[in-house]
Amino acid sequence: MKHKLLYICLFLTSFTFAQQPQVKAAIDTTNIRIGEQFQYKISVNETENVIIPALENLKGLEVVDSLKIDTIENKLVKKYILTGFDSGAFYIPRQQIFIRNQAYLTDSLLVNVATVPIDTTKVKKFPIKGIKGEPYQFDDFKQYLWWIVVGVVIIALLLYFFVFKKKKEAIEEVFVPALAPYEEAMLKLDELDKKLLWQNNQVKKYYSELTDIIRSYIERELHIPALESTTDELINVLKDFNDIDSIDTSKEIIDKLKGLLQESDLVKFAKSKPLAHEIEEDRKDAKLIIDNLKPKKQVEEDEVE
């Protein structure tokens, strides 16, 4: 009976490990000559909810081509064609792959780039070139310059008197009204989503733009210098406004704003790396804050309408 239980545990353990996502990176050669191309391949044993960002931090190597992702035997395979134009040993750094919003890292790979030896005994010899003519100088064209200037002036005068001066239709300046603070904030949030910054390992830039959108909305809607204030200064001002009942919001909304701004400060200055679901939750909080942070006067007008 004990042996059977042991076999069952081993089977379940092996099945569990077999179901874990695996990310692998491989190259078809580790030694090339300058200018030669080689293939770099990333394979993932999953086919759904997988994000493979663009290659980055390549030092000494360049991407020649990025091929489409193939599905082979229930695996995703992404291939790149790389090359190098400097001799030396270069690492392809570890790449971050997202599987179901979870980050996985590939192994780093070493590539040696060698110079091409030149056999000087077989280099073709060329005869001595003849003496080159002296290049033209500005003084060679000086005598024609005044005629060109006179011609341009005459053409300009003709255009002025016979074209522009006779044109009586006034050109009206097109005035494009600025968007309302709320509409502008929603538009910028949609544009931020389309950039896919945090999905491509640009978390710091994502949080910087996200908090700038919120601060700009607060500055335009509530007339508070939010862009120039620190997190604590802005939160204290909003709490004071809320205490005197000059804005329509709640303590929970102000607390969510404080948490989001503090998270952004940690990302920007302490190099914090929030998880994917935390980033998505912060995005939802950003819209919730903008939806529920308005001047008291505007809310009362909405209720009258």
Say if residue 22's pLDDT is above 80: yes
SS3 label, residue 98: strand
CA atoms of 295 and 238, how far apart (whole Å)? 11
Name the more confident of 118 and 112: 112
* Amino acid 123: pLDDT: 61
* Amino acid 237: pLDDT: 87
Please count the other Cβ atoms lying within 10 Å of the Cβ belonging to residue 185.
Answer: 23
- Which tokens go with 51? 């994000």
What's the whole-model pTM score? Answer: 0.43
Write out pLDDT tens, residues 233-286. Answer: 988 888 888 888 778 888 898 898 999 999 999 988 888 889 999 999 999 999
H helix intervals, 248-295: 251-269, 276-291
Say if residue 20's pLDDT is above 90: no
DSSP 136-187: P-GGGTHHHHHHHHHHHHHHHHHHIIIIITT-----PPPP-PPPPHHHHHHH
Mean pLDDT confidence for 31-59: 88
